[in-house]
Amino acid sequence: MVYNPLKVDLDALRAAVAAEVPGDWASTMWFGTTEDDPGPGQVREALKGGATVVIAAGGDGTIRAAAETIAGSGVPLALVAAGTGNLLARNLDLLADDIPNAIRTAVRGVDAGIDLARLEIHRPGGVRENAAFVVMAGFGLDAKMLANTDDELKRRIGWLAYVDAIRKALRDENRLRMAYRTERGTSRTVSAHTLIVGNCGALPANILLLPNAVVDDGRYEAVFLRPESVRGWLQIVFKIFWENGVVRRTPLGRRLLTPDVAALRYVVGRELQVRLSRPEELELDGDSFGLATGFDLRIDAGGLTVRVPEGSRPPAVRAGEESDPRPTALLAAIAILALAAGATVGINRILRRRSRRR
């Protein structure tokens, strides 16, 4: 058990292990993460101690660190999702904050292979660093949002704490200027507000940011957000919240999708090189990862073994099936109203200034 003591109820975790782990198993090894070592050292100790399954209990950061370390070992990773986003658990259709069920899956579940995104990060000064992620990586709004998120507020109200962080990030008018190349060898330049690369695409509240990103299909999906105005942000909200989150969820809706818009550019592939014109904050699976000038990404297809409930269907099979669109529809309405209100306030300010000048 590799657990984040700030995220989990340790007493509940120990009680579930005592109830679910068979008596003829060897004693469970317990390793708490620390600020200096958020998981890699503890996973290595568990493997050295002969663990036949490693359970990562915590948020997406703890799970990312465990996944990066355990990949290729042949030992499966089980999840106790206890963070704010729990994005890998969501994309694997696992229940969050259900400790007994998670331990039951770790003990009685089956092994499944999912993809791991491997990065060579380019740091300022020419330094290179290897890392991996299982959910998403990004520059721009995503990384700045995390930098602006109040940790105490996040602990109290969960992922809704990101709303205020997004508001602060949107005030930043700096754009990313970058070049990117896929495995097909075509190099392109783009100016964008945000780049997000996903190994899987579902966010909290049923939001489908990357509709073609599936955690076991051997590919990533990347999106460049390129709004030039309030109209561009409205296009993004409409495509992501309404079309991806609601319309795309039904067979009839998929026939009614509108063409791509200039404010969004999607790219799908197995390898991706990105070079920025200046260092920017990078985020991996919900954690700030310092300044970077770019990265080289490749998808390690089936590179991570995870423990899932017996009878689970692979994510690629579930992708595109009907699901409940109501949470996304509600958020779409809220987001559109908020953007419309913001645009109205901005226009009124401009009109008042012109009136005073006259």
Model confidence at 351: pLDDT above 60: no
pLDDT of res. 332: 47
| Structure confidence at residue 288 as a pLDDT band (50, 70, 90) | confident
Going from the C-alpha of 327 to that of each of 197, 207, 240, 245, 246, the distances in angstroms are 24, 8, 13, 9, 9
Question: Among 54-63, 112-121, 160-169, which is the least confidently predicted range?
Answer: 160-169
DSSP state for residue 208 in the 8-state scheme: B
| Structure confidence at residue 329 as a pLDDT band (50, 70, 90) | very low
pLDDT of res. 173: 59
Q: What percent of the chain has pLDDT over 90?
A: 54
Residue 322 burial by Cβ neighbours in a 10 Å radius (0-12, 13-18, 19+): exposed
| Structure confidence at residue 241 as a pLDDT band (50, 70, 90) | confident
Q: What is the mean pLDDT of the chain?
A: 82
Question: Among 114-118, 291-295, 339-343, which is the least confidently predicted range?
Answer: 339-343
Q: ∠ CA 181-218-249 to the nearest 5 degrees?
A: 100
Model confidence at 19: pLDDT above 80: yes
**What does DSSP say about strands 54-58 and 2-3: parallel, antiparallel, or unpaired?**
parallel
| Structure confidence at residue 271 as a pLDDT band (50, 70, 90) | very high
| Structure confidence at residue 224 as a pLDDT band (50, 70, 90) | very high
| Structure confidence at residue 357 as a pLDDT band (50, 70, 90) | low
Regarding predicted confidence, which is higher, 144 or 244?
244
pLDDT of res. 267: 94
Model confidence at 236: pLDDT above 80: no
pLDDT of res. 162: 47
Model confidence at 279: pLDDT above 60: yes
| Structure confidence at residue 325 as a pLDDT band (50, 70, 90) | very low
Question: Among 206-210, 252-256, 337-341, which is the least confidently predicted range?
Answer: 337-341
Q: Which residues contact 15 (CB under 8 A, 6 or more apart)?
A: none
pLDDT of res. 14: 96
Beta strands in the chain (DSSP E): 2-3, 31-32, 54-58, 77-81, 110-122, 128-133, 136-139, 176-182, 187-192, 194-198, 220-225, 264-269, 271-284, 287-308
Number of neighbouring beta carbons within 10 Å of residue 116: 23
Contacts by 41-50 with C-beta closer than 8 Å and gap 24+? 42/2, 43/2, 43/69, 43/70, 44/69, 46/2, 47/73, 47/75, 50/26
| Structure confidence at residue 327 as a pLDDT band (50, 70, 90) | very low
pLDDT of res. 334: 44
Mean pLDDT, range 127-141, rounded to an integer? 93
pLDDT of res. 258: 63
Length of the chain: 358
Are the C-beta atoms of 43 and 54 separated by less than 8 Å?
yes
Mean pLDDT, range 256-273, rounded to an integer? 84
| Structure confidence at residue 91 as a pLDDT band (50, 70, 90) | confident
Distance between CA atoms of residues 318 and 126, nearest Å: 42
Query: Phi, psi at residue 75, to the nearest 5°?
Result: -95, 130
